[in-house]
Chain A
Amino acid sequence: DTAVSQTPKYLVTQMGNDKSIKCEQNLGHDTMYWYKQDSKKFLKIMFSYNNKELIINETVPNRFSPKSPDKAHLNLHINSLELGDSAVYFCASSLSNVAEQYFGPGTRLTVT
């Protein structure tokens, strides 16, 4: 049973396109997150949702729009993709915003 799943695992696209990454957790957690891991492997939070409400938005360009249709899902839509968006994007979830976090397998986005 996969606790936190993401689709797709790999995403290759051209500059200017719009793409979405989906995340689902079956842990019954209230809080979900999106993280970006850059080419230097540094991991940084982008967004956090608690009970479908946005609670953290870390000065991410507004081309990135998270959407949480319910507590178990947090999707990430990216408009007008740029070369600098190439990275690995991780979804995570936790019982609360200071509880142990569980990560998905990541989505490797390559923008050409």
Chain B
Amino acid sequence: KQEVTQIPAALSVPEGENLVLNCSFTDSAIYNLQWFRQDPGKGLTSLLLIQSSQREQTSGRLNASLDKSSGRSTLYIAASQPGDSATYLCADWVTGANSKLTFGKGITLSVRP
């Protein structure tokens, strides 16, 4: 059974700092890994999808990497801004029939002005 872990559960940083959010998973036989952002009381917004054959994906100030052999993914946020404050969740699909998305519990990020 796939388990996805995100530590720490919460993080507070000053504006402008570059930061890394970590995600680890127990089963390395994954199809894809997806990073989401959730604002309070809102739905999930897809940030980046990394396919199993890829090592990283970039979108603006965000860069996500995937290392299947070590069971880890990281989301790098450059030059953080108060608007980046949200909960960031990673989720992946394990290979096999009827694969489903398994979520971590998320990291709540607060960027202080």
Contact = CB atoms under 8 A, between A and B. Distances in A.
Interface string A5-45: 00000000000000000000000000001000000111111
Contact of A104 (B43, B91, B99): B43
Contacts of B87: 41
Nearest to A100: B49
Nearest to A97: B99
Contacts, number: 51
B43 A103 contact: yes
Interface residues of A, number: 24
A104 B44 CA distance: 7
B46 A101 contact: yes
Given A41-B87, A45-B100, A105-B42, A98 B105 contact: no
Interface of B: 31-32, 34, 36, 42-46, 49, 87, 89, 91, 93, 98-101, 103, 105-106
